[in-house]
Each structure stands twice: as structure tokens, then as C-alpha cells.
Amino acid sequence: MTSDSNANPFGEGGFDMNALLQQAQQMQEQVLSAQAELAETSVDGTVADGLVSVTVSGTGDLVAVKIRAGSFDPDDTEDLEDLIVAAYRDARAKADELASQAMGPLAGGLGGALGGDQPGTPGSPGSPGL
């Protein structure tokens, strides 16, 4: 019996490592592109009818803070601080949603490629876990 060194050890129609690596490289390029696009996107968060607004990048980095002039007592900064935090949280939630929309399809493709969406696979729905 002779052995063909090029034969697929998993039989005909078996696992193709080159195809998997090529798919992973394409996905990595798509992820990098989506991340770059998110970094260039701006999202605003506003509270108290525009009293305080902040701008964050699509990746969540704080870019700008705007406070309506004459709207606060300079001796009482506690309320202003709370509004800045609330405006940031609003903007960050919007940025996170934007990132989820941009990256979600890419992450979903990875699970299918590696079997992560299969019931019983650790981390997938219906999995008993580790």
C-alpha cells in the first residue's frame, strides 16, 4: 500500500486549513477596516435639553465637552459634574451600539467558521460551559 503525501488526512471533503486561514485573514482585514471607520465617527450625548453635551469617537474616546454658558453657579459644581458624566454615558452607549452594529456581523462570521455557533460548543447557546 502506497501513501500519497498530498492526500487530505480527513478524507475527501475534509478540513481545508488554507481556506480557513484565508477566511481568517479576510475577516481580520474587515475588522481593521470597521475599527478605523469607527475611530473616525463622532457620536454626541446630551442631557438636560442640551445643557451639557459631549462628543465621543465611535471607539468611545472623549473628544469634546460643551456646557451652555451661564447655566451653572460656579460655586456649585456637583450638578455640573453629574451632568457631564450622564452625557458621556449617553454618548458612550450610542458609540457602543454603533460598534455593535459595525462589528456584530464580523463576530458572527467567526463563530460559524470555528464552530462556535454549534450547540454544545463552549460559549455557545445551549452549551453546558466549561
- Grade residue 107 by pLDDT with cuts at 50, 70 and 90: low
Would you state the pLDDT for residue 90?
Answer: 93
Predicted pLDDT of residue 128: 45
Task: Kindly tell me the sign of the dihedral angle through the C-alpha atoms of 6, 11, 17, 19.
Answer: positive
Which residues on neighbouring strands pair with residue 67, listed in sequence order?
52
SS3 letters across 28-75 = HHHHHHHHHHHHCCEEEEEEHHHCEEEEEECCCCEEEEEECCCCCCCC
pLDDT digit string, tens, across residues 70-97: 888 888 889 889 999 999 999 999 988 8
Domain residue limits, the chain:
38-97
Query: What is the pLDDT, as a whole number, of residue 8?
Result: 52
CATH topology of domain 38-97: Ybab; Chain: A; (3.30.1310)
Structure confidence at residue 104 (pLDDT)? 74
